[in-house]
Each structure stands twice: as C-alpha cells, then as structure tokens.
Amino acid sequence: MFRRYLDARLAAYRRLPDVEAAYRELAMATAIQDDIWKQTVAAIRTSDAPSYAAMMVLPPLNAMFDIATTRTMAAQIHTPVGIFIILFVLALVGALLSGYALAADRSGSWLHIVCFVLVIVSRRWSTSGSECNSRAARYRGW
C-alpha cells in the first residue's frame, strides 16, 4: 500500500503542467493515505498488538503525511502580487530620493552608490530566485 501511495504522489508531480490531472492524482494519494491510516489504527487496536505499537508506528506515519501535506500546500501558496508591487515602488522611491541626494553633491560617494546597487540587486535576486522562477509558480493554481 505504501508503494501505491508513493506512486500516486510521484504521478501527481509528473502530471504537471496539467493541473487537473495532478489534482486527480493527489486525490488518489489522499484516499490511499486515509486507507493506510485506517488500517494502521485498526491493526494497533487488535488484542495481539503490543501496547507500545501506537507509540512506535503512529508518530512516523503522521510525520510522513504531514510533510506530504506541507509540500502540497507550499506548491499552491505564493507571495501575493501586491507584495512585489510594493517592493518595486519602494525601490523606485528609494532610487528617487537617493538620486536627489546624490545630485546635490556633484562628486558623489562611490560607497553609497555601490551599496544602493547591491541592496537593489539583492532584493531582486532574493525574490526572483525563490518565487518568480520556481517551477510551481509557472503554473496557475499551483
């Protein structure tokens, strides 16, 4: 049964970018997950099961299902577009204010210029590397 569960989870990710097919595979994996849980609990409740069986089997099983759910939810939740707009506007306002401040001093401070460029580039790199270019972000609804 664990093999079927694993195959269903892997098939869901292989189905991308067909989101509907991926959701069908995830639904099948969830059904198999429920079956695994029910059968495990039933086996633990039998009279011949050791008293420590629940403590030994259920926590790792729960952790396995939790990480699968966490991964599915992480693929579906994204940073709102409004956050990217706010970051862009703040960068423009910062550039405007820095430009006016640097225009008053004709020689300019290379330290300030380099630091400003590094801050803007690192902000852009940190958001684009984690969200905009991720595989999951390319597919609407995922």
User: What tokens were used for 134?
Assistant: 């991720």
The pLDDT, as a whole number, for residue 128 is 60
Take residue 100 and report the two structure tokens written for it: 């006016």
**Which residues in the chain land under pLDDT 70?**
106-108, 126-142
Give the span between the Cα atoms of 127 and 111, in whole angstroms.
24
Are residues 9 and 132 in contact, defined by beta-carbon separation less than 8 angstroms? no
Inter-CA distances, 40 with 27, 33, 93, 128, Å: 20, 11, 58, 43
The domain spans of the chain are 2-76, 81-138
* Distance between CA atoms of residues 140 and 18, nearest Å: 10
pLDDT for the residue numbered 138: 46
8-state DSSP, 136 = G
pLDDT given at position 35: 93
pTM of the model: 0.56
Cα separation, 140 vs 81, whole angstroms: 13
What pLDDT is stored for residue 132 in this prediction?
46
Measured distance CA(60)–CA(25) in Å, rounded: 23
